[in-house]
Structure 1
């Protein structure tokens, strides 16, 4: 227990050191609209869909915190995709995504939603926001898709992806690119990439990556989902009973890193 406390303290302190040492802009948007979203779409690539999809882990965090809190999540991902690969307008077409679902006894229920999605969470390809040939495309499509999402009554949100395991310097450049794009387009940013760096600084023994050093392990997806939960709902994931099958001590550590990162990023009390 003593060792665990020391590790958690180290991670907490590092979160503060990392964010103050690197000159990130302060995020202008710190809250979703509505403040408690009831539905959302994840638009991205394999970083989202690994480990049975991040949106499913988010729903599990929510179910564990409050089973009565409704949240309908949908993931639309393309392997290797940049934002320019996605036809976001089509994702809001009537009688398309979310038109029906299956309930008990394999019965089809046709959904009648007043609004298809409250929020839309977007992530570009892992290098696109900082790649010399693609960063202008990132900037272009954040605005283009953001306009489309708002036109359809949803709140666009950016998901800050993480550095490769063998290229930790990507953390700073990706964070800078996502925060600048978020501020220029009045979008909230989810600081998953910063949380990855904070977790590694505190405990290198928890591997957040699979063998390719890019895609998330189960622990990596769990951490990203915990950051997403904390960012969207401004609630601590610490002591949430959902562990995704991870060792309880590991889950508690990742929950704590997620909450410390989110509090520092949005300057929460």
Structure 2
């Protein structure tokens, strides 16, 4: 789906505002309860499940929102794959601010397209990416039920579900609400996102591409690489490339290190991002 830069920016602003108010409710609630998020160790071994069979020419469908279509992640992943000798058929169905529950709803305009794609075509992999706010604080109520519905359809389409864990906002949550300063650090936000993605992937025995954890590792090891767009939420070209490298590592069970395709990044930066992704296991 082609969209103007202006439309994407407006959609992004509206999405952020909605997430802020939703997050405010939960964060105030947690603060009143005295709850504190225990930040995870982002360097820990993840023990990711591997594909049932590595395919050289997989049919892949991306379901997501602006985190996927920003910088055209599907195309970057396709070009990276071809650089490694793979020939995937890549398709995308994305819409700004969309949640998995919208894709799982046959009565939704875009959801109807997702249902058609899953009911009438076979897929090797369907890569699903949840809205940032929902994957952070609304997973059990919204993300999990939709993921279960979509996973069932994907299995009927002879495919494997892949959950693309996205990244926390660069500065996390920090805003005034009702006279209080509500703050959720990048590390706290990513911890919640990671736990929710890991939980649903484990429940459904699905593949997990933890791009968000790769962001945390990269920002720690290579702080000179800017992974976020100027808005602090969406990925920069380097962030999109890192996410593509993580998908490459997970779907092909093969390191993206030393691949020639760099998505117009300088060779040194691309090599660092490839190494980070290669360490995601």
TM-score bracket for the superposition, by shorter chain length:
0.7 to 0.9
Match of 1:219 in 2: 238
Work out which structure has the larger RCO, using CA pairs closer than 8 Å and 6 or more positions apart in sequence.
1
Give the Cα–Cα distance (whole angstroms) in 2 for the partners of residues 164 and 93 of structure 1.
Answer: 35
Match of 1:121 in 2: 127
**SS state of the match for residue 137, structure 2?**
coil
Give the Cα–Cα distance (whole angstroms) in 1 for the partners of residues 80 and 201 of structure 2.
Answer: 25
Give the Cα–Cα distance (whole angstroms) in 2 for the partners of residues 246 and 171 of structure 1.
Answer: 25
Match of 1:38 in 2: 58
**SS state of the match for residue 194, structure 1?**
helix
1:17-96 superposed matches below 5 A: 18-20=42-44, 30-36=49-55, 38-51=58-71, 53-66=72-85, 69-86=86-103, 87=111, 88-94=114-120
**SS state of the match for residue 61, structure 2?**
strand
What is the CA-CA distance between 1:135 and the residue it aligns to?
3.9
Contact 2:65 2:94 survives alignment (8 Å): yes
Give the Cα–Cα distance (whole angstroms) in 2 for the partners of residues 35 and 252 of structure 1.
Answer: 24
User: TM-score normalised to the size of structure 1?
Assistant: 0.76
Give the Cα–Cα distance (whole angstroms) in 2 for the partners of residues 33 and 48 of structure 1.
Answer: 25
Give the Cα–Cα distance (whole angstroms) in 2 for the partners of residues 72 and 83 of structure 1.
Answer: 22
Of 180, 201, 205, which residue of structure 1 is paired with 2:199?
A: 180
What is the CA-CA distance between 1:90 and the residue it aligns to?
2.0
Give unmatched runs, 5+ long, in structure 1. 1-15, 95-114
Give unmatched runs, 5+ long, in structure 2. 1-39, 104-110, 173-185
Match of 1:107 in 2: none
Shift in alpha-carbon separation, 1:17–1:182, aligned structure 2, 3 A: closer
**SS state of the match for residue 42, structure 1?**
strand
Contact 1:34 1:118 survives alignment (8 Å): no
Q: What is the RMSD computed on CA atoms of the aligned residues?
A: 1.9
What is the CA-CA distance between 1:216 and the residue it aligns to?
0.5
Give the Cα–Cα distance (whole angstroms) in 2 for the partners of residues 70 and 242 of structure 1.
Answer: 14
How many residues were matched structurally?
218
Give the structure with the higher percent helix: 2
**SS state of the match for residue 228, structure 1?**
helix
Contact 1:59 1:73 survives alignment (8 Å): yes
